Structure 1
Amino acid sequence: MNILILLFGAVVLDLLIGDPSWIPHPVVLIGKLISKAETLLRKAFPQKLRLAGKILAVTIPLFTLAVTFLLLWVCYQIHPLFGLAVEIFLGSLTLAAKSLKKESMKVYEQLEKGDLPKARYAVSMIVGRDTQNLDETGVTKAAVETVAENTSDGIIAPMFYLAIGGTPLAMCYKAINTLDSMVGYKNEKYIDFGRASAKLDDAANFIPARIAGVLMVISAYLTGMDGKNAWKIFRRDGRNHASPNSAQTEAACAGALQVQLAGNAYYFGKLYEKPTIGDPIRPVEVQDISRANRLMLCCDLLCLMLGVMVRGFLLLII
C-alpha cells in the first residue's frame, strides 16, 4: 500500500513543485561524489582504467542505495507517516516532468520572440551537443529530442524503479544514469574508464525505454497526434541510435509529430554522424516543442496509472 501512495504522491509532487531550488538536488550531490571518486580511482589505477571504471560503476549506485535506505529507515523509525512523507519527497526528486517542461519551454519562448541567441543558450542548458551554430530548426529539434529522450530516463525509468523498490532503488537508478551522463562517453578520455557505466545504464534502461516508447505511441493517440505513424516509426527507427535505448521514445515522438529528428550533430567541436529518426512528412516547427511536452506529460500520467494498477493487482493477489 505504501508503494501505491508513494507512486501517486511522488508524481503529483513532481508535477506541482518539480525540483525546488532551496535544497541541493540529490543528482548534484551524486555528481560531486562521482567527480571525487573519478579523481581518486584514476590516481589509484592509472594503467587499469577499465578496472577503475568498473569499481566506480559498482560503488556509486550501491552507496547511493545504502545511504537512501538508511536515511529513510531513520525517518520511518521516528514515525511511519514521517518516513512516508520523506520518501515521497525524495521520490519526487527522481522524476523530472515539471523541470523538463519548464526548461524546454524556455527554448520555445525565446524562439517565439525571435531571439535565436537566447534560444541557443536555453537549449544548451538541456542538451549535450554544441548549440552555438544551430539555426532555428536545429534549436527546435534539439529541444524536441531532449524532451522525447528524457521522457524515458527522466520520468518513466525512475517511476519504474519506484514501483519495484521504492525511493532507494529509484535513487540507485539516478546514480547509474548520472554516471552515464558524466563518464559514459566514447571519446579518448572515457572510452575505457566510462565503459562499465555506459553498459550498466544500457541495462538499467532497457525495459523502461521500451515501456516508454509504447506509452508515447498510446499518448499520440490520446493527444490527437498521429498514433499510427508513431507506432510505425517506433518499430522501424527505435534502434537508430548508438544507445540501444535512446531512440525508443525519440522514434515514437518523431512519428507522432510527423517530423524527422536526430541526424548529424557536433559535440565538443567534433562532428558525429548519426542516423535520422522519422520521416520528414512536414518541416519541424517551434510548436513541436509544446507538442512534445504534451506527449511527455501524457506518458507520465499513463505510467502512473499502469504502475498503480500493477501494484494494486499484486496487492490483491498476495
Structure 2
Amino acid sequence: MSDRALGLLAGVALDAVFADPRNSGHPVAVFGRAAGAVERRLYGRTRARGVVHVGVCVGGALGLGVAAERLGRRWRPVGVAVTAVATWAVLGGTTLGREGAYMAGALESGDLAAARARLPHLCGRDPSGLSEDELARATVESIAENTSDAVVAPLAWGAVAGVPGLLAYRAINTLDAMVGHRSDRYERFGWAAARLDDVANYVPARVTGVLACVLAPLVGGTAGEAAAMLRRDGHRHPSPNSGRCEAAFAGALGVRLGGRNNYGGRVEYRPELGDGRRPVVGDISRSVRLARAVNLSAAGLAAASAWAWALHMRRRRG
C-alpha cells in the first residue's frame, strides 16, 4: 500500500482515539489565530481585500503542506507519519459524533439548558428559544452537513493531493467559518472565502450524499428513498453543497429537514428537504450512526484511491 494511503488510514485511527483536543494548541486553532491576525491587517469592505486574505492564509497552509510532504519523501516512515498527523489534525469526525451523542443524551434526560448551551459547538444558530424537537433538527442537519466538511472532504483532498491538499482544504474551510458567513462585516470581505469553500466541497458533498444513500439501510431507511430525496431536494438548499448532504440524510432517516433558523437575530427560512416527519430526539443517534458509517466508507475510498493512483504512477514509470 502507498505511503499516502497508509498515512490517511493511520490519521483516521488517530482521530478515532484522540479526536480534537479542546485547547489552543490544536493546529486548526493556531491557524485560526494566525488568520485572525492577517484579517486585522488586511480587513476592508471590498472583495479584493478578501481575496488577498484568502490567498495569504491558504497559500501559507499549502506551502507548509508542500514542505512537510517533501520532508516525508526522504524516508518512508516519516512520510507516513507526516500524512497521518496532518490527517488527524484536519479531521473532525470523532468530535462530531461525540457532540451528537452529547446532544442526544442531554435531550433524552430532559436537560434543555445543557443542550442549548452545547448547540453552538455544532452550528451558529441562536439556541436560546429552541424547543426539544428544534434542537434535534438543528443537530441532525449539522451532523449531515459536517460529515462532508469534517471528514469526507479532507479525506478526498488528502487522497488527491496528499498533505498539501489536507492542509489547504482545512484552511479554506476554517476561513469560511470565520469570515464566509453573511453579515454586514463580511458580506464583501468574506466573499472569496465562501466561494472557494463552495468549490472545494462541490465533489465531496455529492460523494457524501451518495454514501448516505447507499448506507441508508443501516438506520432503517432504503437506498432508493434516500436517493429520491437527494435528486429531488438536494439543489433546494441555499448552499450548493449542504443541501446534498442534508437531503440524503433526510431520505435515509425518513425525516423532513429545513425550516426557520435564527442566527443571532438574522432569521432565514430554509426549504424543506425530505417527505418524512420532523426529527425527534431519537433521530440524533441514528444520524450519528449514519455519519460514522459514511466516515468509515469515505476513509476506505480515500485510501483505495490513493493506493490505486500510486500503482498507476509506478506502472507508467515502468
Query: Fold-level match, TM-score > 0.5?
Result: yes
- 2:21 is aligned to 20
Q: Aligned match of 2:259 in 238, 263, 278?
A: 263
1:34-45 → structure 2 map (5 Å cutoff): 34-42=35-43
CA displacement at 1:72 relative to structure 2: 4.9
Whether the 8 Å CA contact 1:97–1:300 is kept in 2: the answer is: yes
**d(CA) in 1 for partners of 2:190 and 2:145?**
21
- 1:3 is aligned to 4
- 2:308 is aligned to 313
Alignment pair present for 1:304 and 2:299: yes
Q: Aligned match of 1:111 in 107, 110, 125?
A: 107
**d(CA) in 1 for partners of 2:259 and 2:163?**
36
CA displacement at 1:253 relative to structure 2: 0.5
| Counterpart secondary structure, 2:91 | coil
CA displacement at 1:309 relative to structure 2: 2.8
**d(CA) in 1 for partners of 2:51 and 2:124?**
24
CA displacement at 1:75 relative to structure 2: 6.0
1:41-56 → structure 2 map (5 Å cutoff): 41-42=42-43, 46=44, 49-56=46-53
Whether the 8 Å CA contact 1:6–1:166 is kept in 2: the answer is: no
**Alignment TM-score, normalising by the size of structure 1:** 0.92
1:1-318 → structure 2 map (5 Å cutoff): 1-21=2-22, 24-42=25-43, 46=44, 49-74=46-71, 79-279=75-275, 281-317=276-312, 318=315
**d(CA) in 2 for partners of 1:72 and 1:159?**
16
Q: Deviations over 1:137-160 (max 9, x none)?
A: 010111111110001111000000
Question: Structure 1 residues 22, 135: CA separation in 2 closer, same or farther (over 3 Å shift)?
Answer: closer
**d(CA) in 1 for partners of 2:305 and 2:189?**
38
Query: Aligned letter for 2:295?
Result: D
Whether the 8 Å CA contact 1:226–1:258 is kept in 2: the answer is: no
**d(CA) in 1 for partners of 2:185 and 2:219?**
43
CA displacement at 1:251 relative to structure 2: 0.5
Q: Deviations over 1:108-133 (max 9, x none)?
A: 11101101111111112211111100
| Counterpart secondary structure, 1:264 | strand
Alignment length (residue pairs):
312
Unaligned runs of 5+ in 1: none
Whether the 8 Å CA contact 2:257–2:274 is kept in 1: the answer is: yes
**d(CA) in 2 for partners of 1:83 and 1:215?**
29
Deviates more, 1:299-308 or 1:124-133: 299-308
Whether the 8 Å CA contact 2:227–2:248 is kept in 1: the answer is: yes
Q: What is the aligned-residue RMSD (CA, Å)?
A: 1.8
Query: Aligned letter for 1:38?
Result: E
**d(CA) in 1 for partners of 2:51 and 2:116?**
36
Q: Deviations over 1:250-292 (max 9, x none)?
A: 100011111111211111212112211112x334221111111
Q: Deviations over 1:77-103 (max 9, x none)?
A: 5x5423422330221121111100111
Question: Structure 1 residues 19, 50: CA separation in 2 closer, same or farther (over 3 Å shift)?
Answer: same
**d(CA) in 2 for partners of 1:114 and 1:224?**
25
Q: Deviations over 1:220-277 (max 9, x none)?
A: 1344423222111111111122210011111000111111112111112121122111
CA displacement at 1:106 relative to structure 2: 1.0
Whether the 8 Å CA contact 2:260–2:269 is kept in 1: the answer is: yes
Query: Aligned letter for 1:8?
Result: L
**d(CA) in 2 for partners of 1:189 and 1:20?**
30
CA displacement at 1:23 relative to structure 2: 7.2
CA displacement at 1:307 relative to structure 2: 2.2
